[in-house]
Structure 1
């Protein structure tokens, strides 16, 4: 953080009386470092955990320190000044390997002791404990398993594509994926991380290409969704209480990106 106080953007915010936004930015950095999000701040975390106001966040966006994406914000050039998730996990792995190496001798001794107990018909208490611990670790790791972008193409992307297509029907997803895969070549991430990055990539690509999001459909007593549900057609449709209530229910039930 040396020189942070003297950064031009930070000084601009302070001069504008937005030192509160600087505090929000510091908390956002802390959150990203703790959760290993590679600079992504979810909308809910920004408003709830950090407690930022729309004005404070907008000041950071205007200054180019944050970039708004579909599900939150990205800290600009985060990876240039902070370790990425991949780098942190790699360092942790190396550290664990060094510890394991120092413990190797004692582990070998314990293994001999355990084998002797088994061959003699004994079942030490720690034998089941270590087995259960290993099974628990393997079970937990299955939820945080990281995949390559190619593997994500077959698993999580199809559903993400359906949602993106509803929002940006005119966006060329094949062309967008080619650029995306080139940018993230060789990376491994969880399915959730890939989905977040892919949606944000498509949103930014659509914005830069001037592709507007599809207009939301608002259900009414005479729209085709209500008519089909009631078994009516345009000639027999009526603006009665039942039709209006159904339209209102559909509008409340659906999320914006689900409306076509």
Structure 2
């Protein structure tokens, strides 16, 4: 894919930060047969980016429609599986709108990944729900948070069994807003990220945040599950961390110095 957004190009470029080509190298079948559960504000199901691959799951928010009211969920879904902006362009997307802790472990299918961008202060019951999902073999990817402080003070970022993702910028430096610390497993692009938006069926918007960074790693999980027939959280986590680029991020502040990379698995 030529003239890709900087963030897509970065996760397939390797140790070269900018080769001037803005090329995203990827397996065109990546994501096929995989499912990701987006626990967020919903998805604009008719958006052109999703080509009929986005579906309604459970809605635990009383009085709220299934569609995306804020745009955040559509933006994240576009990063994970959009045909233009997405990492795993053939995956199936299932929107799950929740307002309670115990809902995050529901609606789980084989070969699935749960993306969690929301969070609050540390809560052991929330972290335990994440453990329930990973114990069942489900890969759970969470955002580190946008408070420029230690991620360990927050749930879901502090969940031991999740893959916790902080945000980096085009300069391979930790984004100034990104949380950090020893519970951060890796970095992914999270600054000035183009993706789908909810207001119209071909809408686009630039956003920044660790939510976007987590979405890239969720996309990689679907990517590797599909292209390499991986099964189970442990195998997927090991593959994602093993493929990541070591030592390229500056100002990590005690975080694991790994940058998301698709390992140039090209069909």
Give the TM-score normalised by structure 2.
0.20
Q: Which has the higher helix share?
A: 1
Q: Which has the higher strand share?
A: 2
Larger radius of gyration between Structure 1 and Structure 2: 1
